[in-house]
């Protein structure tokens, strides 16, 4: 090793030790310290829209410093193959970034978790076989961590693929897993745990390692397959957390502190987001992962809607919107499905021009991932200070003339407050019913994800505009233009 002179301390008992010590050369310490600081700043700066893009820059530079530093430390490595890897990866990654429509962001996130987990699993496996059979073998402790790392990587890989498939509608949502799914899952987990213990005791059984990989892959499939499409965001966030943990564990194995830090940052981010989502839905982790939503106990649709639903045309809505003082738009999953955001923007412009105050009410779990609605509306050039969080806007519905609900359902369902037996009981909702008039744009009376009817649609002051989201808004705008 040409870098031996740079080293300042010995820390590894692993046979391939020399390689790992290099990360603790001056060069390694300096570049990894800088990269770690930049990653932290990156997340810090992301906290506010004003500094967020600086945060992305910091992350990019941090990554570049880390990679260049690593290449300089490990000069023994085959630069050719790394170059090949980087080129191929860029050729795949760049188009995915450039042409991915904003409505597909949830799928993209799932897919890239799969790639991240794949990388972790591959590297862990390579490291095992690299050490396996070497003079002093693998010590028990390292083996235990390595087994956990590869297991997490594998299950995150297949789990994320399933999540991707469900969100992209490649896997029908109706697939709910095998019979006795929970028993199978427990069986898989127990076998994986057992094999990990055996490997820890005698790390030499390479074939057991391969079995572990297979079990991990199968467990990921079985875990995510039965979960409904609308719960995917929570699952994706949890998988994000696992992927981070797996990177961190790899850092333990490889004596690489930057991996530990970046992995832990990633892991806590996934954890926090899934906690936020669960809290916004008033559900527990276990309920998301193993519970199935059960709509049997709530009132039937006929009871709720029977004869009480009033429907309206685009022209009616245009008339109602004429000359009002304040309008609040409530977007939901349907706006994303129908790609209505640009039409909404036209509506926003037209209302603002006429002196109407327009704001957007963003429920924390509207759509299919946290912040989903914000990204879509920002894409359509809505200024972000018009996007209000639930707590902020809820008190103002009383002073609102018209609330326009576009493709949202569960997040405006008053049953959450009134029916303790409903599956969304206790979930905080947007109180659109307090507005003078409520206009709901959706294609039918079919329920949202929770599968329950929505008394809002039958309320005294509600008008239904049954239409695809985008078409409805385009029509309303056209009708307003005509009337003017």
Partner 1 sequence: MDLGPKLFVFLLSTFLGLEVIRRVSPLLHTPLMSLTNAISAISIVAAIQVMAEGNTTFNTVLCTLGVVAATINIVGGFWITDRMLKMFRRETNNRE
Ligand X SMILES: NC(=O)c1ccc[n+]([C@@H]2O[C@H](COP(=O)([O-])OP(=O)(O)OC[C@H]3O[C@@H](n4cnc5c(N)ncnc54)[C@H](OP(=O)(O)O)[C@@H]3O)[C@@H](O)[C@H]2O)c1
- Residue 385 known to be catalytic: no
Return d(Cα 24, Cα 251) in angstroms, integer. 13
CB closer to a second copy out of 24 and 409: 24
- Number of Cβ within 10 Å of residue 414's Cβ equals 16
Residue with tokens 């239904």: 464
Interacting residue with partner 1 among 251, 331, 448, 453 (CB under 8 A) = 251
Q: Count interface residues toward a second copy (CB under 8 A).
A: 6
CB of residue 215 to a second copy, shortest distance in Å = 29
With tokens 């899934």, the residue in question is 274
Residue 185 CA to residue 183 CA, distance in Å, equals: 5
Report in angstroms how near the CB of residue 357 gets to ligand X at its nearest. 24
Shortest reach from residue 297's CB to a second copy, in Å: 38
Site for ligand X in 404-433 (CB under 6 A): 407-411
Interface with a second copy in residues 394-423 (CB under 8 A) = none
Among residues 141 and 285, whose Cβ is nearest to a second copy?
A: 141
290 by Cβ neighbours in 10 Å (0-12 / 13-18 / 19+) ranks as: middle
How near is the Cβ of 8 to a second copy at its closest, in Å? Answer: 8
Pick 12 or 181: Cβ nearer a second copy = 12
Three-state SS string over 286-347 comes to HHHHHCCCCCCCCCCHHHHHCCCCCECCHHHHHHHCCCCCEEEEEECHHHHHCCCHHHHHHH
Q: Which stretch binds ligand X (CB under 6 A): 27-35, 165-173, 202-210, 360-368?
A: 360-368
What are the C-alpha distances in Å from 403 to residues 52, 178, 214, 406, 432?
A: 31, 43, 52, 10, 6
By rule CB under 8 A, what string of x and - marks binding of each residue 14-33 to partner 1? --x--xx-xxx---xx--xx
* Strands in 33-89 per DSSP E: none
CA 432 – CA 298 distance, rounded (Å): 21
Backbone angles phi, psi at 311, to 5 degrees: -110, 155
- Enumerate residues 441-460 that contact ligand X by CB under 6 A: 441-444, 446, 448-450
Residue 11 lies near a second copy (rule: CB under 8 A): yes
Q: Which is nearer to a second copy, 138 or 324 (CB)?
A: 138
273 vs 439, beta carbon nearer partner 1 = 273
Residue 230 binding: pick among ligand X, a second copy, partner 1, none (C-beta 5-8 Å cut-off by kind): ligand X
285 binds, among a second copy, partner 1, ligand X, none (CB under 5 to 8 A by kind): none
Asked whether 397 and 431 are in contact (CB, 8 A), the reply is yes
Choose among 194, 200, 188, 126: nearest CA to 158. Answer: 188
Query: What torsion do the CA atoms of 50, 55, 60, 62 make, to the nearest 10 degrees?
Result: 150
- Of the listed 231, 410, 468, 475, which one is catalytic? 410
Smallest distance, Å, CB 276 to ligand X? 9
* 375 versus 478: smaller Cβ distance to partner 1: 375
Give the residue from 404, 178, 401, 427 showing the smallest Cα distance to 312: 404
Question: Other CB atoms closer than 10 Å to residue 181's CB: what's the count?
Answer: 15
Q: Rule CB under 8 A: is residue 129 a binding residue for partner 1? A: yes
Piece of the chain touching ligand X by CB under 6 A; list 91-99, 120-128, 306-314, 366-374: 366-374
Task: Name the token pair of 85.
Answer: 């890897």
Among 4, 13, 84, 284, binds a second copy (CB under 8 A): 13
Per-residue x/- track, 134-173, a second copy (CB under 8 A): -------x--------------------------------
Told to check if 66 binds ligand X by CB under 6 A, we report: no
Burial 234-266 (b: 16+ CB within 10 A, else e): bbbbbbbbbbbbbbbbbbbbbbbbbbbbbbebb
| Long-range contacts, stretch 2-5, CB < 8 angstroms, 24+ apart | 2/75, 3/27, 3/73, 3/75
Q: How far is the CB of 250 from partner 1 (least distance, A)?
A: 5
Q: Does 372 bind ligand X (CB under 6 A)?
A: yes
372 binds partner 1 (CB under 8 A): yes
Task: Report how far residue 300's alpha carbon sits from residue 413's, in angstroms, rounded to the nearest whole number.
Answer: 15
Work out which of 45, 333, 397, 457 binds ligand X, going by CB under 6 A: 333
Nearer residue to a second copy within complex by CB, 9 or 307: 9
* 130 contributes a contact to a second copy by CB under 8 A: no
Of these, 151, 317, 324, 387, which contacts partner 1 (CB under 8 A)? 387
Give the up-direction half-sphere exposure of residue 55: CA atoms within 13 A in the CB hemisphere.
13
Q: What is the strand order of the sheet 387-389 is part of? A: 387-389, 357-362, 326-331, 402-406, 437-442, 462-466
Pick 127 or 470: Cβ nearer partner 1:
127
Residues with catalytic roles:
410
- Note the residues at the interface with a second copy (CB under 8 A): 8-11, 13, 141
- Note the residues at the interface with ligand X (CB under 6 A): 230-231, 233-234, 277, 281, 332-334, 337-338, 365-370, 372, 407-411, 441-444, 446, 448-450, 468-469
């Amino acid at each position: 090793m040409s870098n031996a002179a740079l080293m300042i301390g010995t820390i590894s008992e692993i046979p391939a030790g020399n390689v790992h010590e290099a990360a603790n050369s001056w060069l390694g310490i300096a570049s990894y310290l800088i990269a770690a600081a930049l990653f932290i700043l990156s997340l810090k700066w992301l906290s506010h829209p004003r500094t967020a893009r600086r945060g992305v820059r910091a992350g990019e530079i941090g990554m570049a410093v880390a990679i260049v530093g690593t290449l300089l430390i490990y000069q023994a490595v085959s630069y050719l193959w790394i170059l090949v890897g980087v080129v191929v990866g860029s050729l795949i990654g760049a188009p995915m970034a450039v042409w991915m429509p904003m409505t597909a962001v949830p799928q993209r996130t799932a897919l890239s978790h799969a790639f991240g987990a794949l990388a972790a699993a591959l590297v862990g496996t390579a490291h095992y076989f690299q050490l396996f059979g070497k003079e002093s073998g693998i010590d028990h402790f390292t083996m235990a961590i390595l087994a956990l790392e590869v297991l997490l990587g594998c299950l995150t890989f297949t789990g994320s693929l399933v999540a991707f498939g469900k969100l992209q509608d490649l896997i029908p949502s109706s697939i709910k897993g095998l019979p006795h799914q929970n028993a199978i899952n427990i069986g898989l987990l127990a076998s994986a745990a057992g094999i990990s213990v055996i490997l820890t005791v005698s790390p030499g059984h390479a074939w057991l390692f391969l079995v572990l990989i297979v079990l991990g892959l199968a467990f990921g499939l079985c875990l995510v397959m039965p979960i409904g499409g609308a719960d995917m965001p929570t699952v994706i966030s949890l998988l994000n957390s696992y992927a981070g943990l797996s990177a961190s564990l790899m850092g333990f194995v490889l004596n690489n502190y930057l991996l530990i830090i970046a992995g832990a940052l990633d892991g806590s981010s996934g954890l926090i987001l899934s906690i936020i989502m669960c809290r916004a839905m008033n559900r527990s982790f276990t309920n998301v992962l193993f519970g199935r939503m059960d709509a049997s106990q709530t009132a039937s649709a006929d009871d709720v809607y029977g004869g009480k639903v009033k429907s309206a045309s685009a022209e009616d809505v245009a008339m109602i919107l004429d000359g009002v003082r304040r309008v609040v738009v409530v977007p939901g999953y349907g706006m994303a499905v129908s790609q209505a955001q640009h039409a909404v923007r036209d509506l926003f412009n037209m209302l603002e021009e006429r002196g109407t105050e327009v704001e957007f009410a963003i429920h924390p779990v509207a759509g299919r991932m946290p912040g989903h609605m914000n990204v879509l509306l920002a894409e359509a050039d809505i200024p972000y200070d018009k996007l209000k969080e639930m707590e902020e806007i809820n008190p103002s519905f009383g002073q609102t003339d018209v609330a326009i609900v576009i493709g949202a359902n569960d997040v405006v369902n008053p049953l959450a407050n009134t029916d303790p037996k409903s599956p969304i009981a206790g979930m905080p909702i947007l109180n659109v019913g307090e507005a003078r008039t409520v206009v709901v744009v959706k294609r039918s009376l079919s329920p949202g994800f929770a599968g329950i009817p929505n008394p809002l649609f039958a309320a005294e002051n509600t008008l239904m505009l049954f239409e695809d989201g985008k078409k409805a808004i385009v029509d309303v705008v056209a009708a307003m233009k005509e009337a003017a």
